[in-house]
Structure 1
Amino acid sequence: MKQERSGEASKVIGRKVLRPRQQVEETIREAILSNELQPGEMLPPEAELARQFNVSRTTLREALRTLTSQHLITKVPGARGGNFVQSVDYRSLGAVMSESVENLLALGTVEFDEVADARQLLEVPSVQLAAVNRGEEELKGLQEIVERQKTASVDDPEIPELDRAFHTLIARASGNRVLASFVEALHHATEPVHYLELSPEVGRETVLQHQRILRAIEQQDPAAGEEAIVEHLTYLRKHITTHQAAERDGASPTP
């Protein structure tokens, strides 16, 4: 028999041995990602799952909590409830990223300016691509949003949702679903109404800027779209920074 020479690399046949909780997570995750478990399908009851995996209920619940935090399953309480498989698509990616970014901001491990920088870096190509790739349905949706914004007052409870819808619909019109997920997540974390009280002046100027962005997309002009979105994000960022500085100093921010 041929002997392996000294110093020659051995064939790798081993793999990391997972703990019971990790094995449960891995098995259920693979079943979801392979479509063995379909979106909306309810997992077997926890007692039955624990029996199938031959683990304790505590170990099973730890695994299910992790899968819930990863937005792969959701727990519905009540007699008709249970653990259900969530839809895994680009929107799930955005939800996970949004939650992560907000946690990092809350913990202070990243700065607001870092997130705002990343948002601007992504929203510029988002608008450029939307100007090229947008369809009639997406264009009509953007027009309806801007028309609603033109008639809404700054204290209208719909304002945050209209702003979110405008930016995320542009990102979806780009045709790049990963880009759309990232833009939606970062927009949520840096949403202006989270950081300042909108004055009528800021509200009016914001709508005008949205109109310029929309016009560039209507005319399928990527260069004009880039100019309009940079102007818009720079304007908002200036007011957010001013508001934050005033809050730190204990003064009332000027519009």
Structure 2
Amino acid sequence: MARPLATGEEARQSRPIGRRVVRPRQQVEEQIRELIYSGELRPGERLPPEAELARQFEVSRTTVREALRALSTQNLIDKQPGAGGGSFVRSVNHEALGTQLQESLHHLLSLGSVDANEVAMVRQYLEVPSTRLAAEHRTDEDLQTLREIVNRQRTISVDDPDVPDLDQRFHAAIAKASGNRVLASFVHALHRETEPVHYLDLSPKVGTQSVRQHQQIIKAIEGRDPDAAEEAIIAHLTYLREHLLHASLK
């Protein structure tokens, strides 16, 4: 005899309502993650000690330690050693996004999963519209930041340890001036992993030419000329890529 069709009430009662039971470590990890994402745990806030967390969650310290290690790998907390150390909530914003993207790219490049030329090409695809947007949306404060960076670049030698950081700050400042925080995060990540000055010795000629190109980019951004800004950034990135290729063939 055929079984009668379920009524509406029976169908509702038979729908799946269960949730997969997870291990204690995963439960601790998920609860702390939710507190961070909800804002209940603020950036920079220190979590309770492992022993106290174990008491609150009613789990072992080993379980808490594994959960914190997983959250650290996800860049949600920082684990700092020492008497004043502990586990601190990291900022979850567009700057943190850039850092996480950069770390992921670094691992992919180290493993050979992607090629540096692929990353460099994507960087150019993003830095060109970023510079155009900066020419349209820049503020006087943005211009001041860019000028200060270039003025510092003009006063130091190419072997100064500040060169890589100043170059990164220059390109990050342009991306910030674009007004698009997600775009700025991607540019930050891509730049940190592809810029030649991070792993090549620049000649005085290359260093001087790079600074001149930076000045041309600022001039176009100051004049609110997106076309000139695009032309200047393409010339700069092409010059650096050719320098990288030349250095790699030596």
Q: TM-score under structure 1 normalisation?
A: 0.90
**CA apart distance, 1:162:** 1.0
Pairing partner for 1:169 from 154, 166, 173: 173
Confirm whether residue 198 of structure 1 aligns to residue 189 of structure 2. no
**Cα deviation, residue 145, structure 1:** 1.2
- The 5-angstrom pairing of residues 18-167 of structure 1 reads 18-167=22-171
Deviations 1:139-185 (A, max 9, x none): 01101111222222111221111101100011111111111111111
Whole-Å Cα distance in 1 between the matches of residues 125 and 7 of structure 2? 54
| Kept in 2: contact 1:40–1:84 (CA 8 A) | yes
Among 6, 9, 20, the residue aligned to 1:3: 6
Aligned residues, how many?
244
Q: What's the CA shift string for 1:183-242, capped at 9, x where partnerless?
A: 111100012123321011111111111111111100011111111111111111111122
Report sequence identity in percent: 61
Cα drift, residue 123 of structure 1: 0.5
State yes or no: 1:222 paired with 2:234. Answer: no
Q: Give, in angstroms, the shift of residue 18 of structure 1.
A: 2.4
Question: Which of 179, 182, 192 is residue 183 of structure 2 equivalent to?
Answer: 179
Q: TM-score scaled by structure 2?
A: 0.92
The 8 Å contact of residues 195 and 243 in structure 1, kept in 2 or not, is answered as no
- Structure 2 gaps, min length 5: none
Deviation sequence 1:47-70 (CA, Å, 0-9, x none):
111122222222211110111122
Secondary structure of 1:36's match? coil
Q: Hey, what's the Cα distance between the residues in 2 that align with 1:226 and 1:119?
A: 14
Give the gaps of 5 or more residues in structure 1: 247-252
Look up the equivalent residue of 1:84 and give its one-letter code: F
Q: Quick one: distance in 2 between partners of 1:16 and 1:119?
A: 41
Tell me, in whole angstroms, the C-alpha distance in 1 between the residues paired with 2:241 and 2:111: 21
Q: Which residue of 1 aligns with 2:235?
A: 231
Distance between the aligned counterparts of 1:80 and 1:204, measured in 2? Answer: 45
- Which residue identity does 2:6 align to in structure 1? Q
Which shows bigger deviation, 121-130 or 70-79?
70-79
Q: Which residue of 2 aligns with 1:211?
A: 215
